[in-house]
Amino acid sequence: MVTRGFSFSAPLAMAAAVLAAALAFPGGHLAARAAAGWQTLETPHFSIHFRPEEEGAARELAKIAEEVHGRLVEFLRHVPRGKTEVVLKDSSDFGNGWVDPLLPFKNVTLEISYPLSSWASLGFTREDWLRYVFTHEYTHVLFFDTTSGLAEAGREVAGQVPLLSNPNLMAPAWYVEGLATYTESRFTRGGRVEDPVFDMYLRAAVLSGRLYTPDQLASTAYDLSGWPEGGLSVYLYGSSFVAYLAQKYGPEKLAQLNHASGDYQNLSFAATFRSVFQAGLEEEWQSWLEGLRRRYQEQKEKLEGQGLTQARRLTATGRWKGGLAVSPDGRQVAYTAGGRGWATGLRLLLLEEGKDRQVALSGVPEGSITWSPDGRFLYYTKPEYTGTDYLYRELYRYDLERGREERLTRGGRVLDAAWSPDGRRLALVTQKGGRTDLELVEPAEAGTAGRGAGCGGGSPGAAEEGGALGAGGGEPVQRRVLLEGGEELRFSSPAWSPDGRQLAVAAWRQGGRRDILLLRVEAGSQVEAAGGEGLATRRWLTDDAAVDLSPAWTPDGRYVLFSSGRSGIPNLYAVEVSTGRLFQVTNVLYGAFAPAPAPDGRSLVFLGYGPEGYDLYQMPLDPGQWLPVGPGKAGESEPPSAASPAGPPGGEVILGVHPYNPFPSLRPHWGLGYLQASERDMFLAFLTSGIDALQEQAYSLLLGYASGHGFIYDVTYQRLLGSGWRPLLTVSLEEWVPDALGAPAEVRRRQEVSLALPLQNSVFTAQVLTLGWTRRWVDADWRQAARAGWQLGAIRGRDRWLWYHRVNLDLLADDLTGVPERTAVLQWREDLTVAARREVGLRLLGGWSDEGGSSFALGGFRDDPGTEAYALRGFPKDSAKGERFWLGSLEYRPELWRVERGSTGPGLFTEAVQGILFVDAGAAWRGDGGAPPPLVGAGLEARVKTVAAYYLPLQLRLGVAWPVAGPGEGPRSYFDLVLVF
């Protein structure tokens, strides 16, 4: 990571922060593609932007959005001004939605892909995805838009100023996400407040006593060591606590709290909470937890009285796991795993020996895995980029004999895969445009399992662009749709019967049901949309309101096992295929998922949950021990349906569709004035910025006038050029006058153009090429410089060892000093997590410049690459200078104290204190001489890792260094506060 000194010297520090926030393209999400071809659908309260192929989803969302608007405006007691810009995308196979409160207009971005989990429910499975996610995100829109008092008056004057016009940005994350998760549960048939998996997370945390405090959940940016991770726990704790408050005090109190916290006079959320509820936050938090303890303890005693399932724990690492499959010989289990200090990867566990190893990086800890029938190959899905725009799930194959991974699709969007037992057919679940299809891939010559360079297990080989599965080694394949999902069905987790004639698949149905569908499949057949005709038929093995997932056949073909939360606790169940009789297979305290029977039919491997997370377990597969489940079992009742209010006046929802126009969102939505006066001069400036809804264009503008000197300006414009590799063009123009806002005494002008080309080619590797040109007015003359840079960042991992390395190359040619100069700097850095809370860091740099040009300088404790000065601790600044240099640094970073405490408001949160042992070495010299003996320094440093204002990462450094080799004056101490980017 890059660090810079933390200092502000100009009186416009706040305005600079506003401009930086307003200009920034979101870094945590994929921005929308270039605007070419985009359309906009207008409704009374929304402008919905979409590509032509998503028009059906856009029209569906239009009706949903107006309904949700009516419900939430009434519930939250806030009517927003103007329209909300909604961007509908299909650029990822990971369904998601987000709001960016730093944009100067109300906004929602939605990925329309349904996030169908193959092994666990996440609350939305009973509801239409668009309704579910939009309800959650529009709650954020209304919450951040709610202002009162001085904040409301400020918006009337200055408009929607990023950072400054949203006091509710200062609300803690557990409330921001808890409120939205509460409304998603209150106003849809889904929602995580009543979800069995979310309840499982809380039950495990409460019964084990491993609980977070409100200050620890004030931000999703805090690096918490506990489980569940902080990013998940703000939703988990927040939604349950908000539901508790709504039940105890009435839901109208939530709207009252929103309005009270939307005033600059009430920036202390804890104080505002007390004024609304007449009780302290900590007091109510403990009261809520005490109620959970009583409920969960009673539940535990009841389950223990029934007899808990006894199973052997196969792993003991906790955190995230999923996607498990037992090998054809029953000796190994393949699964995916990830978590703190881990490289998320595909792993193999030998059941008898207990040996566990990672074989490949997977990118996500949840995904489909299937073995080739001969046991040589593993097939699995993981995310990968197509270009830089699209993050899709692709099909991969791992050759266990050769230890080699091969990507089989590009843009294939394969969610799940399953080989038939005879190796003749591969069943795929594919996704596009928010819908899924069930497909079959058949080699032209059947029975080729394990043969051919690209055809292990009769597999598809390397894919063609667009997702067409080609044949490895030139072998032709037949790929066809077995069953179209359309709007009615969405599939996951196909599983072949032992005779290869039937498929069981988890299917979401319109109306919110999630059941197990059985398909009889004959070679050359296709299931009709209506079903029940021809050689391929279908029937529902389960048909109720419970969420049923992850089907798996017993080896004798008599039962289909699956996971379900129908009892309120996720457990494993079995349905007898011939009779439809239902049985409960496990009775656990927390949760059981993803059944995987051994081929010999004697044991069952499954994913179990505990206070530390997910682990693999093994138990006997004995139908005689299963409990029959009769009708009327708890959890089978139909979920309540949220009533839909009347539409807008006149019943019109869609007012029109037209080509996307960026200017309504790009226009200035805010403006700030700045006045600086002295005895001699007066300076007046106006600031604004803008960005369009697709985040394709952005600008910032400062116009000013200084008495006696004239006008100044500072203009920056950014534009994403085209699609695909998405180059970003930046143009900046400046002109300042003497003494204005701390400007130097001479008139200063600057013209700058830069182009950034993101060459990202993998989830684990990112490359960026930057080109730039600058011209400045210096000493009554124009001076110019050209710059090129290249950066490569990559993640590698093996078991619990995680590497991150980065290579930077900077090339500069300029005459800014009046002397033509060329400079090149190459930097390589490696960060290695060697054990829990222990890191090793290594950095190597080298540079070259023309003789007579400005030299490099070594010394001090802080880098300043802008002046080509680099830290060499133990020596004063400029201890070594020259046109050539090299520098190396080795650090050992054990964590000394895990603090993880802070204020409940936007104050300071301390994560940890690191101890650093370091050695620095380097040399600099003139181009006409040889390299001198290096300067070597060593020392100790303490780093306090903190986060300010919820999301501003800071490091406090306190150190002492000694010169080991070279001239020195004894130990040198230093103190520094740096902002970490």
Q: Is the pLDDT of residue 660 over 90?
A: yes
Its sign, for the CA torsion 497, 501, 503, 509, is negative
Residue 641: predicted pLDDT: 42
Residue 176: predicted pLDDT: 97
- Average pLDDT of 270-274? 95
Q: Which two structure tokens, joined as six digits, stand for 906?
A: 């936007």
Q: Kindly report which listed range (10-14, 213-217, 755-759) carries the lowest average pLDDT score.
A: 10-14
Residue 851: predicted pLDDT: 63
661-674 pLDDT, tens per residue? 999 999 999 999 98
Residue 478: predicted pLDDT: 78
57-92 pLDDT, tens per residue? 999 999 999 999 999 999 999 999 999 999 999 999
Q: Kindly report which listed range (621-625, 820-824, 878-882) carries the lowest average pLDDT score.
A: 820-824
Q: Is the pLDDT of residue 474 over 60?
A: no
Q: Is the pLDDT of residue 120 over 80?
A: no
Residue 764: predicted pLDDT: 87
In the structure, what pLDDT confidence band is assigned to residue 30 with cuts at 50, 70 and 90?
Answer: very low
Q: Is the pLDDT of residue 125 over 90?
A: no
Helices (DSSP H) in 167-319: which residue ranges?
173-186, 196-208, 230-249, 252-261, 269-277, 281-306
Report CA-CA distances (Å) from 266 to 147, 155, 548: 11, 17, 46
In the structure, what pLDDT confidence band is assigned to residue 711 with cuts at 50, 70 and 90?
Answer: confident
Residue 35: predicted pLDDT: 57
Residue 123: predicted pLDDT: 64
Residue 117: predicted pLDDT: 65
Residue 981: predicted pLDDT: 67
Nearest to 809 by CA among 854, 846, 773, 758: 846
Q: What is the CA radius of gyration of the chain?
A: 30
Q: Measure CA of the first residue to CA of the last residue in the chain; give whole Å.
A: 6
Distance CA 843, CA 825 (A): 13
CB 132 within 8 A of CB 191: yes
Residue 631: predicted pLDDT: 61
Residue 854 DSSP label: P
SS3 548: strand
Q: Which two structure tokens, joined as six digits, stand for 192?
A: 């995580």
- Average pLDDT of 876-900? 95
Nearest to 201 by CA among 651, 584, 565: 565
Residue 837 DSSP label: T
Distance CA 258, CA 270 (A): 13
CB 209 within 8 A of CB 169: no
Residue 25: predicted pLDDT: 36
Of all helices (H) and strands (E), which one includes residue 39? Answer: strand 39-42
Q: Which long-range contacts (CB under 8 A, 24 or more apart) does 730-739 make?
A: 730/754, 730/755, 730/756, 735/711, 736/712, 737/706, 737/709, 737/710, 737/712, 738/709, 739/681, 739/706
532 vs 295, residue with greater confidence: 295
Distance CA 151, CA 264 (A): 6
Residue 13: predicted pLDDT: 29
- Average pLDDT of 612-641? 75
Nearest to 702 by CA among 691, 692, 717: 717
- Strand 801-814 with 489-496, pairing: unpaired
CB 546 within 8 A of CB 539: no
In the structure, what pLDDT confidence band is assigned to residue 121 with cuts at 50, 70 and 90?
Answer: low
Q: Is the pLDDT of residue 4 over 70?
A: no
Of all helices (H) and strands (E), which one includes residue 665? Answer: helix 663-666
Mean pLDDT of the chain: 85
Residue 529: predicted pLDDT: 39
Residue 877: predicted pLDDT: 93
101-115 pLDDT, tens per residue? 999 999 999 999 887
Residue 903: predicted pLDDT: 86
Residue 523: predicted pLDDT: 56
In the structure, what pLDDT confidence band is assigned to residue 928 with cuts at 50, 70 and 90?
Answer: confident
Residue 207 DSSP label: H
In the structure, what pLDDT confidence band is assigned to residue 822 with cuts at 50, 70 and 90?
Answer: confident
297-313 pLDDT, tens per residue? 999 999 999 999 999 99
764-795 pLDDT, tens per residue? 888 999 999 999 887 778 888 999 999 999 88
- Average pLDDT of 716-722? 90
- Average pLDDT of 844-864? 86
Nearest to 587 by CA among 603, 601, 606: 606
Share of the chain above pLDDT 70, in %: 85
Q: Is the pLDDT of residue 533 over 70?
A: no
Q: What is the pTM of this model?
A: 0.91
5-15 pLDDT, tens per residue? 222 222 232 33
